[in-house]
Amino acid sequence: FLKAACVAAIATVPSFASAACEDGEIVVKFSHVTNTDKHPKGIAASLLEQRVNDEMNGKMCMEVFPNSTLYNDNKVLEAMLQGDVQLAAPSLSKFEKFTKQFRIFDLPFMFNDINAVDAFQASDAGQGMLDSMQRRGLQGLAYWHNGMKQMSANVPLIAPTDANGLKFRVQSSDVLVAQMEAIGGSPQKMAFSEVYGALQQGVVDGQENTWSNIYGKKFFEVQDGITQTDHGIIDYLLVTSVDWLDGLPADVRDQFTTIVAEVTATRNSESTSVNLAAKQSIIDAGGVVRELTPEQRQAWVDTMKPVWAKFAGDVGQDNIDAAQKINS
Ligand code: LMR
């Protein structure tokens, strides 16, 4: 079965490498799971691809495989360590097998907005985390922003008690499991590519995600509505393998990492507006968006925030304090 699945996966990807890349170019396959337009990651990946192919022509050639067409996030890091793919940008929630440091980004209500996330990532602690998986063979190149998470379900969610007994899809993160348990939900880890079908078929009742993911994968079509909780964040690590990066000629590596830094700055500055446009697109398409009063939102804070205590040891109280200082 595995073999057949592999062949099927490869068959859906045209032999673009040989068609688009020239002999002698270093081929960079970049696998990710979201859609390409109206999405912070999708548009950042496209700009990176365009700039590498324009400016490094003859030296390097990048092909982006979006929408989980090459690997889903549960497989891509293993594939990277085997040299089958060179670049990926999984959410920070998906690195649990490699490091617990990123758990700080999953703790509910840790960051007020994406600017606070950006400032934490730019600090020495945040920059140090880019190197935290080197022993495991992975090198973080940059943080790429998505945005704040919202809650959705097949029933209206106003109070956290409305989530009691509901099944929620979560990314592969124990923090997110604990968060959903805190609101009385029953969490199920699931790959992003399976969420729409699972919501549609009632395998799960709800999920949490950013406006751009809810719009891009049309989750709003199979949910009663989306409640604007802004309770957490989805952000990405642009990641490669230590071996691949170390194996690049120094001048090629420098040019590549310079382009990565420039693309990161450009696209990260647009992530909030991309998400707000996606929110509007959901409303325009007939999706229901519910906003909470400050008191209503405070009830979500009070219910979810106690999960911090469980993970303080993993993420470090000093990091929690630093993140809170940035918020204030
Ligand atoms: C998810 O699995 O919900 C997200 O991490 C998908 C993504 O890459 O934004």
15: confidence class by pLDDT, cuts 50, 70, 90: very low
Tens digits of residue pLDDT in 250-304 = 999 999 999 999 999 999 999 999 999 999 999 999 999 999 999 999 999 999 9
How far apart are the CA of 232 and the centre of ligand 1, in A?
Answer: 13
Look at residue 74 in the predicted model and tell me its pLDDT: 84
Residue nearest to atom 5 of ligand 1 (CA): 91
Q: Is a pLDDT exceeding 70 seen at residue 14? A: no
How far apart are the CA of 192 and the centre of ligand 1, in A?
Answer: 6
- Ligand 1 pocket member 234 (CB < 6 A): yes
Look at residue 328 in the predicted model and tell me its pLDDT: 81
Those residues whose C-beta lies under 8 Å from the C-beta of residue 9, and which sit 6 or more positions away, are 69, 70, 71
How far apart are the CA of 235 and the centre of ligand 1, in A?
Answer: 9
What is the Cα–Cα distance from 29 to 296, expressed in whole angstroms? 45
How far apart are the CA of 32 and the centre of ligand 1, in A?
Answer: 9
- Ligand 1 pocket member 192 (CB < 6 A): yes
Cα–Cα distances in angstroms (integers) from residue 49 to residues 54, 61, 66, 137, 187, in the given order: 8, 8, 12, 24, 36
How far apart are the CA of 91 and the centre of ligand 1, in A?
Answer: 6
Q: Is a pLDDT exceeding 90 seen at residue 207? A: yes
- What single-letter DSSP state applies at residue 101? G
DSSP symbols for 226-295: EEEEEEEEEEEEEEEEHHHHHHS-HHHHHHHHHHHHHHHHHHHTTHHHHHHHHHHHHHHTT--EEE--HH
Q: Is a pLDDT exceeding 50 seen at residue 4? A: no
How far apart are the CA of 250 and the centre of ligand 1, in A?
Answer: 33
Q: Which atom of ligand 1 is nearest to the CA of 39?
A: 9
Q: Is a pLDDT exceeding 80 seen at residue 8? A: no
13: confidence class by pLDDT, cuts 50, 70, 90: very low
Look at residue 20 in the predicted model and tell me its pLDDT: 77
Tens digits of residue pLDDT in 19-38 = 579 999 999 999 999 999 99
- Ligand 1 pocket member 34 (CB < 6 A): yes
Tens digits of residue pLDDT in 224-237 = 999 999 999 999 99
- Ligand 1 pocket member 171 (CB < 6 A): yes
- Ligand 1 pocket member 179 (CB < 6 A): no
